[in-house]
């Protein structure tokens, strides 16, 4: 990585297809309150999980080139398991001056404390993530994978009333009740339905996500490269999306995260 010395006051750019990455953003702000953040919800290209690897690569690089030109971030966070699985290497090559951090399903932490875990994710993550491939090949009896083809879209769409997803979730997940002792939320959107998932499996089943891992990685990279911001106490947060009409969804999701303990 070729870091420029004067970049510490530049923002951290956080990208996802929709509201999911806001859960990563919230965690980042908690740990790095004095940084400036730009969040971009790429609703126009959502859901990422339905795109092929090469389509997604094209979409993500085009979007990041545009955002990089405008905001010149010191770090780009792919707050999306699907985008990370398909494009992280290309993003690193394209933006050598930035700290690039992706999001991966927390399967390893889950397997450290659970006997058998259920991994939920998009088609893109299940097909393209090297980590998922590695774990399912090396420990096939300890991981069950379940693609949730529509869940991220449903969460984006029903963000103001997530309870409507309860019965559909129960329908797809109740077959695993009693068979696993851990569930990995392998998509940043799914944190919005963490309570519903927990209700289905009961309190004995632990629920995992990769958000803290992302935050710790951003924090340690910034410190290592002396790019963490020290001239402010409270940074700024910009929430952006492709279509003006979607701003309401984005802000509704952000308000939910401010109020609850998702
Ligand atoms: N939030 C995203 C993830 O973590 C993807 C959702 C989608 O657009 O399919 O995978």
**Closest C-alpha to 187, from 251, 124, 94, 117:** 124
Q: Which two tokens stand for residue 95?
A: 């933006």
pLDDT value at position 70? 97
Residue owning tokens 């405008």: 70
Kindly state if the Cβ of 211 falls inside 6 Å of ligand 1: no
Kindly state if the Cβ of 17 falls inside 6 Å of ligand 1: yes
Q: Which of 52, 59, 122, 157 gets mutated to test ligand 1 (max ligand atoms within 8 A of its CB)?
A: 122
Q: Which of 187, 208, 241 gets mutated to test ligand 1 (max ligand atoms within 8 A of its CB)?
A: 187
3-state SS assignment for residue 64: helix
Burial of 164 (0-12, 13-18, 19+ CB in 10 A): exposed
pLDDT value at position 169? 97
pLDDT value at position 6? 79
pLDDT value at position 2? 60
What distances in angstroms separate CA 259 from CA 41, 44, 196, 252, one per listed residue? 20, 27, 17, 11
- Cα 142 to middle of ligand 1, angstroms: 24
- Cα 82 to middle of ligand 1, angstroms: 5
pLDDT value at position 262? 57
- Cα 117 to middle of ligand 1, angstroms: 20
Q: Which residues contact 142 (CB under 8 A, 6 or more apart)?
A: 111, 115, 116, 117
Could you list the mean pLDDT of each consecutive 10-residue stretch along the chain, which spans 262 residues?
A: 75 98 97 97 96 96 97 98 97 97 97 98 96 94 96 97 96 97 98 97 96 97 93 91 91 90 54
Domains of the chain by range and CATH? 12-104+211-259 (3.40.50.1860), 107-208 (3.40.50.1860)
* Active site annotation includes 80: yes
Choose the catalytic residue: 98, 114, 187, 241: 187
């Amino acid at each position: 990585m070729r870091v420029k010395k004067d970049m510490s006051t530049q923002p951290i750019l956080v990208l996802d297809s929709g509201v999911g990455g806001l859960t990563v953003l919230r965690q980042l702000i908690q740990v790095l309150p004095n940084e400036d953040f730009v969040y971009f919800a790429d609703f126009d290209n959502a859901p990422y999980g339905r795109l092929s690897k090469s389509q997604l690569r094209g979409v993500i690089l085009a979007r990041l080139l545009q955002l990089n030109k405008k905001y010149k971030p010191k770090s780009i966070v792919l707050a999306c398991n699907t985008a990370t699985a398909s494009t992280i290497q290309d993003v690193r090559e394209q933006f050598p001056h930035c700290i690039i951090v992706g999001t991966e399903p927390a399967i390893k932490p889950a397997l450290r404390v659970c006997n058998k875990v259920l991994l939920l994710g998009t088609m893109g993550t299940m097909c393209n993530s090297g980590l998922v491939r590695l774990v399912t090949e090396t420990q096939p009896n300890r991981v069950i994978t379940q693609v949730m083809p529509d869940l991220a879209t449903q969460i984006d769409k029903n963000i103001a009333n997530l309870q409507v997803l309860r019965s559909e979730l129960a329908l797809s997940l109740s077959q695993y009740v009693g068979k696993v002792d851990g569930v990995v939320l392998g998509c940043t959107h799914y944190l919005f339905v963490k309570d519903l998932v927990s209700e289905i499996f009961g309190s004995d089943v632990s629920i995992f996500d990769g958000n803290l891992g992302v935050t710790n990685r951003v924090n340690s990279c910034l410190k290592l490269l002396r790019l963490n911001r020290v001239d402010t106490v409270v940074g700024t947060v910009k929430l952006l999306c492709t279509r003006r009409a979607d701003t309401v969804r984005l802000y509704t999701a952000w308000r939910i995260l401010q109020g609850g303990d998702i």
